[in-house]
Amino acid sequence: MRETPDVTVLRLGHRPGRDERITTHVGLTARALGADRVLLAGAASSRADTVVDITDRFGGPFDVETTEEPKRVIREFDGTVVHLTMYGERIQDVETDIRTAHESEPLLIVVGAEKVSFEVYERADYNVGVTNQPHSEIASLAVFLDRLYSGDELDREWADPDQIVVPMETGKKVVDPEAVEDAE
């Protein structure tokens, strides 16, 4: 992937008992599709260990952090703030501007769960709708990151994995990286 400033995904909100898998998948999607770190707020921090475990097993770099003050993170972020919401501007109308901004400054992508306060909408440099229809925040994050990186994130190389997935037409195969190196 090209060298650009950091991309942080902030998971804003988490409904215990309802969002465990969703919050975990926000972190895993951020990792797999090119973000540098995920920041889990409040009750969402309970999902950090799972994302750290996946990073340890399948490689990094990727950081997982927690915060009890997500609105402060948004307020004080030194870079471009993008809030993913179905009420935002169409991604196809703003993606070039966001990509250009990201060439010179870090990017904070805010992914909500429950109702997001108006303060987040006001602070965001961009309120972005991947679609203006109800949809999953995981899908929104995946589409946004793919648009941000123009597909380059799909060729990312992972450092120090304990396991790697071997792409195949049928079946599942996960191996020790040394097995692949020995076969080459």
C-alpha to C-alpha distances, 114 to 14, 19, 87, 137, 149, nearest whole angstrom: 7, 10, 14, 11, 28
* Tens of pLDDT, residues 37-56: 999 987 767 788 899 999 99
Confidence tier at 5 by pLDDT (50, 70, 90): confident
Q: What is the pLDDT of residue 100?
A: 96
Cα–Cα dist 171/91, whole Å = 35
- Grouping H, G, I as helix, E, B as strand and the rest as coil, residue 124 is coil
**DSSP letter for each residue of 77-101:** -SSEEEEEEEEEEEHHHHHHHHHHH
Q: What is the pLDDT of residue 32?
A: 96
**What is the pTM assigned to this prediction?**
0.91
φ, ψ dihedrals at 86, nearest 5°: -70, -10
User: Scanning the structure block, which residue is given the tokens 């009890």?
Assistant: 68
* Domains in the chain, number: 1
* Tens of pLDDT, residues 137-154: 999 999 999 999 999 999
Cα–Cα dist 121/18, whole Å = 24
- The vertex-93 CA angle with 87 and 94, nearest 5°, equals 85
Domain of 31, in residue numbers: 7-183
Say if 75 falls within a structural domain.
yes
Cα–Cα dist 95/85, whole Å = 14
Is residue 24 a contact partner of residue 128, using CB atoms and an 8 Å limit? Answer: no
Confidence tier at 107 by pLDDT (50, 70, 90): very high
Say if 175 falls within a structural domain.
yes
CATH, residue 97: 3.40.1280.10
Q: What is the pLDDT of residue 144?
A: 97
Question: Between these two residues, 134 and 8, which has the higher pLDDT value?
Answer: 8
- The percent of residues in the chain predicted with pLDDT above 90, rounded, is 71
Say if 1 falls within a structural domain.
no
Say if 39 falls within a structural domain.
yes
Q: What is the pLDDT of residue 16?
A: 67
- Res. 2: pLDDT tops 50: no
Say if 107 falls within a structural domain.
yes
- The vertex-20 CA angle with 15 and 25, nearest 5°, equals 120
Say if 2 falls within a structural domain.
no
